[in-house]
Homo-oligomer: A and B are copies of this chain.
Amino acid sequence: MIALTPAESEALLLSLRISAVAVVCALPFAILTAMLLAQTRFAGGILLDALVHLPLILPPVAMGYLLLVVFGVHGPLGAWLLKTLNIRLVFSWTGAALASAIVSFPFQVRAIRLALEQIDLKLYHAAATLGAGPLGRLFSLTLPLALPGIIAGAITAFVASLGEFGAIITFVSNVPGETRTLPLAIYTAIQTPGGELAAARLAALSIALGLAGLLSAEFVMRRIRQRARA
């Protein structure tokens, strides 16, 4: 393959950073949300579920607009962030990461929840009689046993972040070096007459990045499964 142009490697690194930050930062919240949802007793469950899925239900552009309204400098949260923490999300890569995190959040929650619901409650009983309190059980049982789901969720979210376009461009616009991720670069190329080759090169980069993510997830999963069988 011919060497990457500076613009390409910039977009590549930006995509990688934004997706990684989005997934890692959203993970604890995703686990928490999944745990809340997995407890069927929780009454507001269905509302929380709907909220989590909102970014999937709404078209990304609408989602981006919503983010703009909430996290913009005049938005309720955005104004607060700017005033107290001097953080401005719009037009910055952190905003892109936030958009990615929110849009890919449902993938994480779904997968983790599915894994949580498969855990045999009897193991919790055993752990409790052995003196493990709620927190001990969380770290010694829940998280390790849900690990396949957590990894599956994280990788789906990572991959989905890599492809996220509509919410990012609407929320943080397309600023080269700051928010022009691979999808935005691909979009720009496609919209330009004769941009097919450039788009294809960028798409190949995207795919390579996604493949690397999938491969490493697969690798980790296999090790987990092997360990469990050894």
**Majority-rule SS of A interface residues:** helix
Whether the Cβ atoms of B148 and A203 lie closer than 8 Å is no
Return chain B residues, CB-CB under 8 Å to A190.
Answer: 61-62, 65
A117 located at the interface, meaning its Cβ lies under 8 Å from any Cβ of chain B in the complex? yes
Whether the Cβ atoms of B117 and A114 lie closer than 8 Å is no
Chain B: minimal CB distance from A204 (Å) = 10
Q: Interface with B: A1-9, A25-33, A71-79, A154-162, which one?
A: A154-162
- 25 residue pairs of the A-B complex, CB under 8 angstroms, read A45-B218, A50-B207, A50-B214, A56-B156, A56-B162, A57-B206, A57-B210, A57-B211, A58-B163, A58-B186, A59-B165, A59-B183, A59-B186, A60-B60, A60-B165, A61-B165, A61-B186, A65-B199, A106-B156, A106-B159, A111-B114, A113-B152, A114-B115, A115-B118, A118-B118
